[in-house]
Amino acid sequence: MRSSRPQPRSGPAVEVVIEAVGGEGDGIAPGPLYAPFTLPGERVRLAPGGDRREVEAILEPSPERVQPPCPHFGACGGCALQHWERSAYLAWKVGRLAATLQRQHIETELLPAFAAEPHTRRRVALHVRQGRKDAARVGYKARKSWSLVEIEVCPISDPRIEAALPDLKRLAAPLFEHPKSAPTLHVTLTEAGLDIDITGVERKSGGLSADARMRLAEFAAAADFARVTLDGEIAYGARQPIVRLGAATVALPPGAFLQATPQAEAAMAAFVRAAADGAEKIADLYCGVGTFTLRLAEIAPVYAADGAAEAVAALASAVGTAPGLKGIVAEARDLVRRPVLAEELKRIDVVVFDPPRAGALEQSREIARSGVSRAIGVSCNPATFARDARALIDAGFRLTRVLPVDQFLWSPHIELVGLFER
């Protein structure tokens, strides 16, 4: 029986001119045809295929084309745009953000973008595949594939993470007792050293054996890692991983969320603090471990809420490390199922919300119903931010300014912080 699913159209090799770059970083030619690692204005020859083609040759390169700094670029799926000159690449990202807001008929002031530099990522997720007995294969997934590209260098990562790659390969070697294991190393650079949370190890068979756990701990000790956890369960601990957030010191729970680069965190926090200046009482929703809470509490008392109980507990414990804060009340609360209601915001004049990629539509509707005078939105997804912004704008807010944030260098991904005022 013939499948009813539409079959991708196929055609011969073709020469085309790239007209634009799409949302995933691929060049777009008339058709449309999509070609990776191409730039606007380039004439290229595409291989035979369907809508998405491989590039056989760059016939007329763009003047904006540069030499990629990473030897793994093109095979590794971690970066898509290393071949694009920096200012043009950043302008494209900001243009995409503006277009996303315009689709919701939102006009605002776009501030000069924050742009992360190479070698500044303090948080990476490395995929692992079985290798030799004493060293696994560690890297990123290949472009549009489940295959692994083993890496030796990584120019987006902090040099201390890059230097630890051989040790991380040894650490991951004991993780393959079960054939269904597909581990990921979630590596975070902290002031105490590297904190590694390992996910994807098959547990139905009983998890790692005592022998494998012992080898894991031995490799961690030899590498002087601060802590290694298996799905949050401590497998090795030499030092408590800590970070500084404002004047406070936070002891991180396993797998805790942090902004990808400390420089981006500082830029976002500076925007949030300036936008909240003069507040008498603040709510920080989706607060995590206190990235913004602990700085906002230098201005006014803060009510902080997040669905991750471990993060909220870490925030509450950190309060005593920063004398002079105005006061923090922290609550573990599912803000999707139980958003903070407009009535609960009666004494709040500034609300900060920093949701995950799905956005905060339910919470935005409650902010819209409330009497707060300012709302500050932090987002890793411009599309859901624009949707949530529309709910606030329809209720009488105005999005007065936005800071674009490019902390995922050489990816199509852009983030933002925006101020809403009545």
pLDDT tens figures, 270-297: 999 999 999 999 999 999 999 999 999 9
Q: Where are the beta strands (DSSP E) in 200-339?
A: 227-230, 233-237, 242-245, 248-251, 282-285, 302-306, 328-332
- Residue 350: CB atoms within 10 Å: 25
- The pLDDT, as a whole number, for residue 369 is 96
Provide the domain limits for residue 169. Answer: 123-242
pLDDT band at 8 (very low <50, low <70, confident <90, very high): low
Residue with tokens 């560690």: 138
Helical ranges in 28-137 per DSSP H: 86-103
Helical ranges in 125-164 per DSSP H: 159-163
For residue 218, what are the contacts with CB-CB under 8 A and spacing of at least 6?
A: none
Mean pLDDT, residues 133-150 taken together: 91
Together in a domain, 221 and 286: no
Together in a domain, 386 and 289: yes
Burial of residue 263, with CB atoms counted within 10 A of its CB: 0-12 exposed, 13-18 middle, 19 or more buried: middle
Together in a domain, 140 and 156: yes
CATH number at residue 210: 2.40.50.1070
Does the structure show a pLDDT above 60 at 216?
A: yes
CATH number at residue 318: 3.40.50.150
pLDDT band at 220 (very low <50, low <70, confident <90, very high): very high
The per-residue pLDDT for range 235-263, each reduced to its tens digit, is: 999 999 999 999 999 999 999 999 999 99
CA distances (Å), origin 397, targets 179, 330, 389, 422: 54, 27, 9, 4
Q: Is-contact 235 199, C-beta < 8 A?
A: no
Q: Is 208 a member of any domain?
A: yes
pLDDT greater at residue 11 or residue 241:
241
Question: Dihedral (C-alpha) 52, 54, 58, 60: value to the nearest 10 degrees?
Answer: -10
Q: Is-contact 419 400, C-beta < 8 A?
A: yes
Does the structure show a pLDDT above 50 at 402?
A: yes
**Mean of pLDDT over the chain:** 95
Does the structure show a pLDDT above 60 at 6?
A: no
Does the structure show a pLDDT above 80 at 213?
A: yes
- Residue 324: CB atoms within 10 Å: 7
Together in a domain, 112 and 186: no
**Which of 49, 65, 81 represents a domain boundary (last residue)?**
65
Q: Is 42 a member of any domain?
A: yes
Helix, strand, or coil (residue 275): helix
**One of 79, 154, 287, 380 is an active-site residue; which one?**
380
| CA distance between the termini of the chain | 61
Does the structure show a pLDDT above 70 at 7?
A: no
pTM given for the model:
0.92
- The pLDDT, as a whole number, for residue 181 is 86
358 token code pair: 């799905």
Does the structure show a pLDDT above 90 at 144?
A: no
Together in a domain, 156 and 221: yes
Q: Is the Cα dihedral 52, 58, 62, 65 positive or negative?
A: positive
CA distance 70 to 87: 19
Mean pLDDT, residues 62-85 taken together: 96
Together in a domain, 111 and 141: no
- The pLDDT, as a whole number, for residue 10 is 78
Mean pLDDT, residues 1-27 taken together: 78
- The pLDDT, as a whole number, for residue 9 is 62
For residue 35, what are the contacts with CB-CB under 8 A and spacing of at least 6?
A: 16, 18, 26, 27, 28, 29, 44, 46, 52, 53, 54, 55
CA distances (Å), origin 193, targets 8, 110, 164, 188, 220: 49, 37, 11, 8, 12
pLDDT band at 3 (very low <50, low <70, confident <90, very high): very low
CA distance 58 to 305: 51
CATH number at residue 52: 2.40.50.140
Mean pLDDT, residues 209-220 taken together: 95
CA distance 319 to 326: 10
- The pLDDT, as a whole number, for residue 2 is 47
Together in a domain, 112 and 128: no
Together in a domain, 341 and 193: no
Based on its alpha-carbon atoms, the radius of gyration of the chain, rounded to whole angstroms, reads 23
Q: Is 177 a member of any domain?
A: yes
Together in a domain, 298 and 192: no
Q: Please say if 380 is a catalytic residue.
A: yes
- pLDDT above 70 covers what percent of the chain? 97
Together in a domain, 131 and 107: no
Q: Angle at Cα 296 formed by Cα 324 and Cα 243, nearest 5°?
A: 80
Residue type, 48: P
Together in a domain, 37 and 159: no
CA distance 398 to 360: 18
3-state helix, strand, coil in the chain (%, to 5): 25, 30, 45
**Which of 212, 242, 272 represents a domain boundary (last residue)?**
242
Q: Is 250 a member of any domain?
A: no
- The continuous run of DSSP H or E covering 295 comes out as helix 293-296
Q: Is 1 a member of any domain?
A: no
Q: Angle at Cα 243 formed by Cα 241 and Cα 247, nearest 5°?
A: 140
- Count up the domains in the chain and report the number: 3
Residue with tokens 């043009």: 88
Together in a domain, 301 and 387: yes
CA distance 124 to 121: 7
